[in-house]
Structure 1
Amino acid sequence: MEDKCHIDMLGLMILCSLLTGSSGGTDIHVFSSDGGNVTLPCDNAPTGCISSMWIYRREQSSETVVLFKNGMKENGIERGERLSLVSDCSLNIYKATTEDRGHYTCRQLEDHRFDTSVYLHVLHVSPSSTQTEIRPNSSFTLSCQLYVYNVCSRYDIFNAEGVQLVWVNKAGVNLKPDPRFQISSSPQHCIITLTTTLLNEDNNTEWRCQITDTTDQVKTSVRYTVTYLAPAAETTQVNLVAVAVPVVALLTLIALIALWLICKKRARADNEAISTLTPVTPPADDVHGKKEDVAYAEVIISRKKFTERHNVQSNNEVTYATITGAGPRDEGL
């Protein structure tokens, strides 16, 4: 079995040598997370990129696409809105996707000996479960895959450079020694999976798939946060509370306005009651010619559709009061 593996590896090395040629240059491997921004270097570029061009080769294709030439972006290129050059002629890719993986070359038009060959690899994480299936006590699997240019670049990064895929928690601790997690990997397919049974406390827990080299330096990583859907009953209760609060506030406001209007109406009615005091002509002398030392006063209280007259007589000994109520028929008097 080991002999067969060595023969396969030797055949792979020969195949890669034939495919890539022997330019004598150094290949640069760049790693990016799915959705992240990445910059591809360009060595020995002239000022202003006036004699530089960026070329892109798709996987399993001999055709190349010119992205930039003489510092200018080519018209009509695919994903052109996400590509740009920086001051040193490096190529910037905004929100890289797995479709951006491939072989990029920064070529110096005056001397091809200074070409920079860059292989872009993109790391992507996906769950095997749908959102509705992600809940406590259920089995959960995350698959992490590194999308590479071709089989030759896969051999280079996993064997020649010692790159490996690992699963870690938020604190960066490797999850493989933890018996709760089952970690399986397939370097020949650039895949590593994490399988576990979810617990209640795993809600909003973050796990990361990352690429490290022989010095444990992290090349890139992708985060995945476990999120549980709220139960239907809890969701309904939250919705009811959200509706009830503004309704209660509105009813309280209406009640306060109604109370204010009632108080205002009562105050207006009280202001309409006007009391006046008018002098009354004293009666004539009695038949004996005797004058009484009596003071007279008439009090008139006016209200809507009702008038009261109060005749008050006073002497030193007795005070007399006569109250006459005017009904609806007396209003004209």
Structure 2
Amino acid sequence: MADQCDLCLLGVIIVSSLITGTSGVNVTHVFISSGENVHLPCNNALSDYKSTTWTYYNRYRHSAAVELITGGIKKKDTERHERLSLWSDCSLNIKNVTEEDHGLYICQQYVNGGKQGPDAHVFLHVLHVSPSSSSQTEISPGRSVTLSCQLYSYTGSPCGDLVRHKGLQLLWVNQTGVDLKTDSRYQISSDHCMITLSTTLLNEDDNREWRCQLTLRNQLQTSVRYTVKYSAQDVYESTVRVTVISVAAVAVFLLAVLWLIRRKTAGNKRGTADSAVKDENEHKGTYETIDMSTPPAARANEQTDDHVTYSEVTSSNKKPVKSFSDHNDTVTYAAIRGAEDEPQDELYSL
């Protein structure tokens, strides 16, 4: 019960000092991005850093306060031992801050076993960006990416209270500082101390930078940069994928064009063949043969009589020609014979 009361009292002190700035406790808020180094001041510092004690408290991580430095000496059994250092001004330095470092840091000083001056409370707020899903491991063109930017904060009250009372605001901006909410390509959603960005990556996003920034009363406190990095393999695969799609599209287009050309050519050939058949049918068997020859009997007579001329005319059709009469008329020959001493009216005989 006593421990619970102490926790409640500590929470009341923290909240009241945060909201009203109550004297007797020096309160400082430090905002930092994960991965950076942070400097936590001890505002009531004495000249001798050996009198300094730093204690860490975060009830969500530890059931009790954890001593980090006692009498100016680091505790070796702490999980962040290698990343801690005490400066000559009694300030605490933490290297390569992680989201788990957020919480309340209390600086106290003791001289001859007695505490000197008020406590210094330093609230460390850590801004961290990560993929919203642990399964999201590939960053390449054409893939969807969702980034989560969260402010890890412990003040003894919900993060929403800190936002409402202190005027904190989270934003996703581009390299020039323009709010990405104004670009329809990005989907932005926020919930108290978390803001997410979702989009589909493009080829030109390689080395593109997005920033999640934290402002306090419109003054920039800290920001986290997230830079899109494509590997050479990602770019190659994306290029090959785009090339394959483009080649396939061109191939389909060419096949369609060839199909249309062949269809048109086949139609023209059918039209030409039909015309040729029609012309052949129209003209087939319409020719006649005329045979002009001299009969043998006439040729025998030609040897003794120079005044007699014989001729033979034969006319025939390969195919009957339409006429008034369906019969074929054939003229075999006509002979004309005459003598010089006979009258002219007897020269002709049929």
2:187 to 175, 182, 196: 182
**TM-score, normalization: structure 2?**
0.56
Write out aligned runs for 1:13-32 (5 A): 17=12, 24=23, 25-32=25-32
Structure 2 unaligned blocks of 5 or more: 1-8, 238-350
Q: Which moved more, 1:36-45 or 1:17-26?
A: 17-26
Compute the RMSD of aligned alpha carbons: 3.0
Work out whether 1:54 is the aligned partner of 2:15: no
- Measured against aligned partners, the alpha-carbon deviations of 1:23-67 in whole angstroms (never above 9, x if no partner) come to 742432211211110011101211122322111113334511221
Secondary structure at the aligned position of 1:152 is classed as: coil
> What is residue 44 of structure 2 aligned with on the other side?
44
Work out whether 1:165 is the aligned partner of 2:165: no
Secondary structure at the aligned position of 2:100 is classed as: helix
Cα displacement (A) at 1:132: 6.0
- What amino acid does structure 2 have at the position aligned with 1:120? L
* Structure 1 residues 18 and 128: CA distance shift in structure 2, 3 A: closer
- What amino acid does structure 2 have at the position aligned with 1:17? V
> What is residue 203 of structure 2 aligned with on the other side?
200
Contact 1:119 1:153 in 2 (8 A): no
Alpha-carbon distance in structure 1 between the residues aligned to 2:234 and 2:194 = 36
Secondary structure at the aligned position of 1:47 is classed as: coil
Alpha-carbon distance in structure 1 between the residues aligned to 2:234 and 2:191 = 40
Structure 1 unaligned blocks of 5 or more: 1-13, 236-333
- Measured against aligned partners, the alpha-carbon deviations of 1:106-144 in whole angstroms (never above 9, x if no partner) come to 012244642100111211111247676433233221111
1:218 to 217, 220, 242: 220
Instruction: Quote the sequence identity (%).
Output: 52
Secondary structure at the aligned position of 1:115 is classed as: strand
* Structure 1 residues 97 and 48: CA distance shift in structure 2, 3 A: same
Aligned residues: 221
Cα displacement (A) at 1:16: 5.0
- Measured against aligned partners, the alpha-carbon deviations of 1:246-284 in whole angstroms (never above 9, x if no partner) come to xxxxxxxxxxxxxxxxxxxxxxxxxxxxxxxxxxxxxxx
2:148 to 132, 143, 149: 143
Work out whether 1:124 is the aligned partner of 2:128: yes
- What amino acid does structure 2 have at the position aligned with 1:114? P
* Structure 1 residues 15 and 113: CA distance shift in structure 2, 3 A: closer
Cα displacement (A) at 1:152: 0.9
Contact 2:103 2:123 in 1 (8 A): yes
* Structure 1 residues 18 and 120: CA distance shift in structure 2, 3 A: closer
**TM-score, normalization: structure 1?**
0.59
Alpha-carbon distance in structure 1 between the residues aligned to 2:179 and 2:156 = 27
Return the index of the structure with the highest Cα Rg: 2
